[in-house]
Every structure is written in structure tokens, then in C-alpha cells.
Amino acid sequence: MATNTQRRDLTRDRIVKAAAGLLREQGPAAVTTRRVAEEAGLQPPALYRLFQDKDDLLNAAAEHVFAEHVAGKRTVAPSDDPVADLRAGWDTQIGFGLAHPYVYGLLLDPVRARDTPAQARGVRILAERVHRVAAAGRLRVSEERAVNLIRAAGTGTVHTLLTLPPGQSDPHLADAAFDAVARAILTDGPTAPARDASAVVAAFRTLVPELPRLSAAEAALLDEWLRR
């Protein structure tokens, strides 16, 4: 027989999935106690026992939708071209934002801004892809700066596309935005030291954790020097 904790978790999962469905299709205004309870096949008091208020439920619903998206990205095997994989990840993220405007709006609301588990996993996936680009000698800036530039450009691109007036949408804006970021962070190809020392430094930083005979403190100090 299920324990009280298991029953509680199952009930919470039903509620979150019901709220996520309403949020995806109709937006935050549709996520009311009555509607969610009806969709989950529960009585409204069940929601009050598990969530503090509507904002708490909305946050859980948005996290659920984004977690599904991130889990899907994890199943994509990397190719032999890290730059192509970075571009594919950009396209996927832009597509998610445009397909889920209500969820995206909640995740990026400055008033609600917080590092949720799914958002943290998403950033780690991006960082891993950037790391592979650096290891291939294609990165001209630090990995940290590349990640932040990609995130900033992606957020701005989705926000702009979602807020453009009807009839003024630019189907090529996302491509142009990625190309602009690519020019800022990528080299044209694996570079020799004389051509682009920054790319060599970025590539070498990816090897620091694997260097033999360095203590953790020494490796951290070397990485700091390289980053500077």
C-alpha cells in the first residue's frame, strides 16, 4: 500500500500536470483553484494543502513544462560538430519560447526570477555545449562569457518576437541573432596561437581539470589566470 508521502506526491503530481496543461493552452488566468481541481479530479481543499497560493502553483506548473523540455534536450546525442550542436540548441530554445509564451513569460518574469532546478539543468546543458566548442578551438571568449551572451541574446530574441505587433513578425530574426552572437564568440575555425591567442587559451582551459600533478587549488589558480 502507498504511504502517506507517496499519496501526497501522486496528488501533487496530478495537480501540477493539470495546472501545466491549463497554463500551456490558456495562460495564467486559467489556472484557478476550481479549474485545476476539476482537471485533476480532486476537491479544491486538496490544492490548499499542497500549495501556498496561486503563485506557488503557477511556479510549479511552469517548472514542470520547462523540465519536460530540458529532459528532451538531454536525450539528443552530440554530433561530431560542436558548433552545429550549439546552433541546434539555440533553435530548440527559441522554438520552446515561441511555442510556450505563457510559460516563458513566467520563467523570465523579473518579479518571479529564480534559479529553478530545470533552469539550472538547462544552463548546464548549454555550458556543456559551449565547453565542447572551446575544446575544439573555436571559442574566442571565455566559456562563462559565451554562455551569458547566448542566454542574453536568446531571451531578448524570444521576448522581441513574442511582442512584435501582428503582421510585423520577422521569421529570420532568430537566425540573425544567432549569427551575431556567433561572430562575437566563435573563430572561423581551429586557430593557431599566432592568429587568435584567446581561442587557444579558451581551448586550454578545458584541459585544466585533466592536467596531472596539480592539486585542486593549483588547478583553480591556473584557471583563474587563464580566464583573466
Q: pLDDT in tens for each of the 228 residues of the chain?
A: 568 888 899 999 999 999 999 999 999 999 999 999 999 999 999 998 999 888 899 999 999 999 999 988 888 889 999 999 999 999 999 999 999 999 988 888 777 656 678 888 999 999 999 999 999 999 999 999 999 999 999 999 999 999 999 888 898 999 999 999 999 999 987 654 444 556 566 666 766 576 666 677 766 766 676 776
Between CA 143 and CA 16 the distance in angstroms is 35
Between CA 181 and CA 83 the distance in angstroms is 12
Helices (H) and strands (E) in the chain, counts: 11, 0
Cα distances (angstroms) measured from residue 214 to each of 134, 217, 227: 21, 8, 17
Chain-centre distance for alpha carbon 156: 14
pLDDT for the residue numbered 197: 59
Phi and psi angles of residue 139, each rounded to the nearest 5 degrees, phi first: -105, 130
DSSP, residue by residue, 72-106: HHHTSPP-S-HHHHHHHHHHHHHHHHHH-HHHHHH
Q: Find out whether 171 and 104 touch, Cβ atoms under 8 Å.
A: no
The secondary structure of 202-228, three-state, reads: HHHHCCHHHCCCCCHHHHHHHHHHHHC
pLDDT for the residue numbered 151: 96
pLDDT for the residue numbered 214: 66
- The amino acid occupying position 10 is L
Q: Find out whether 107 and 146 touch, Cβ atoms under 8 Å.
A: no
Between CA 27 and CA 102 the distance in angstroms is 5
pLDDT for the residue numbered 219: 65
Between CA 81 and CA 86 the distance in angstroms is 9
Between CA 154 and CA 86 the distance in angstroms is 12
- For the whole prediction, is pTM greater than 0.75? yes
Between CA 46 and CA 199 the distance in angstroms is 56
